[in-house]
Structure 1
Amino acid sequence: MEDVFDFLSDFENTGQWDPGTIETRRQSGDGGLGTTYRNKSRFMKREVDLEYETIGFDRPTSFVCRGRNGRTTATDRMSFTRDGDRTQINYRAEFDFPFPVNVLVPLMIRRKLEKLADETVEQIKRTLDVR
């Protein structure tokens, strides 16, 4: 469980397990609480830059990282539990969009976000299986 936590909580590894990530670089910190990252992702053919900060870190059970770019906030929450000799991961990504996008999300891009979520789960599984 500790190895899985260490890999996923190091946001520089998002390029390996998050299909939307182009690149993530650590800006400051030691990987724990308060660590900051610069992330470039692609969503719906647009590149988006976010500044992430680790706002929750309890090794090896929970990790929270919040990204902002002035208009949008993305919060990634992960919790980890043991299931025999396997690690169970609960991962939730929440997005706060500015008006009017926040009104349009349920109508226009919800399915795209759900598809990205499914792709992310599958990519995490593949990446961890190889590791």
Structure 2
Amino acid sequence: MKITRTITVDTPPSAVYAYLSDFTTSDQWDPGTIDTTLVEGDGAVGSTYHNRSVFRGNETELTYVTMDLQEDRLVVMRGENRTVIVQDTMSIRPGPGGVGTELVYEADFTFKGLVKLATPFLRGPLTKLGDEAEEALNRELPRL
């Protein structure tokens, strides 16, 4: 199940990239995140993060790994626990007319085990999560 949102802000791509590539900021823009801490690495590809989140009232923990970074263009993070794999892909490009930034945020969820059977019932809550992430990014990115 994939959720895609496009956010356009006046903030330069370099600032958006710097903010999103530091995944410890996810507690500011990811509505489910309680906190994210860097566990291993320096933020470069291969770095590992511990993420505590709440989804549908249940607290969960995920291990995220930085999969790809392309300066001012792309941030790809992969999170996993026993019930889900989520890949966050954040594509960054200059905004319309070369002003600001257009961010395409994609969260691709693959559920595992028994939770996989509930996937059709999770569309609504995941759509809401995407809407809330879009709101938070529209609030946070212009502050950079």
TM range (shorter): over 0.9
User: Which residue number corresponds to residue 123 of structure 1?
Assistant: 136
* Distance in 2 separating the partners of 1:71 and 1:112: 16
Q: Which stretches in structure 2 are left out of the alignment for 5+ residues?
A: 1-12
The answer as to 2:86 corresponding to 1:74 is: yes
Runs of 4+ in 1 over 4 A off after TM superposition: none
Shift of 1:130: 2.4
Match of 2:100 in 1: 86
User: 2:37, 2:51 within 8 Å by CA — same for their partners in 1?
Assistant: yes
Mapped to 1, the partners of 2:113 and 2:62 lie a distance apart of: 18
| Contact in 1 for aligned 2:17/2:72 (Cα 8 Å) | yes
Using the TM superposition, give the Cα deviation of residue 96 of structure 1 relative to its aligned residue in structure 2, in angstroms: 1.1
Residues 68 and 74 in structure 2, CA contact (< 8 A), matched pair in contact too: yes
Shift of 1:70: 2.8
Aligned length: 130
Give the C-alpha shift of residue 109 in structure 1: 1.6
* Correspondent of 1:105 among 110, 115, 119: 119
TM-score, normalised to structure 2, is: 0.86
Amino acid in the other structure paired with 2:104: N
Counterpart CA distance in 2 for 1:10 and 1:130 is 16
Task: Tell me what 1:10 maps to.
Answer: 22
> How big is the shift at 1:123?
0.4
Structure 2 equivalent of residue 41 of structure 1 = 53
Give the root-mean-square deviation of aligned CA atoms.
1.0
Does 2:32 correspond to 1:32? no
SS in 1 for 2:44: coil
Question: Percent same amino acid at aligned positions?
Answer: 38
Match of 2:4 in 1: none
Greater mean deviation of Cα atoms: 96-105 or 28-37:
96-105
* TM-score, length-scaled by structure 1: 0.94
Aligned mates of 1:99, 1:29 — CA distance in 2 = 30
Partner of 1:53: 65
The 3-state SS of whatever aligns with 1:38 is strand
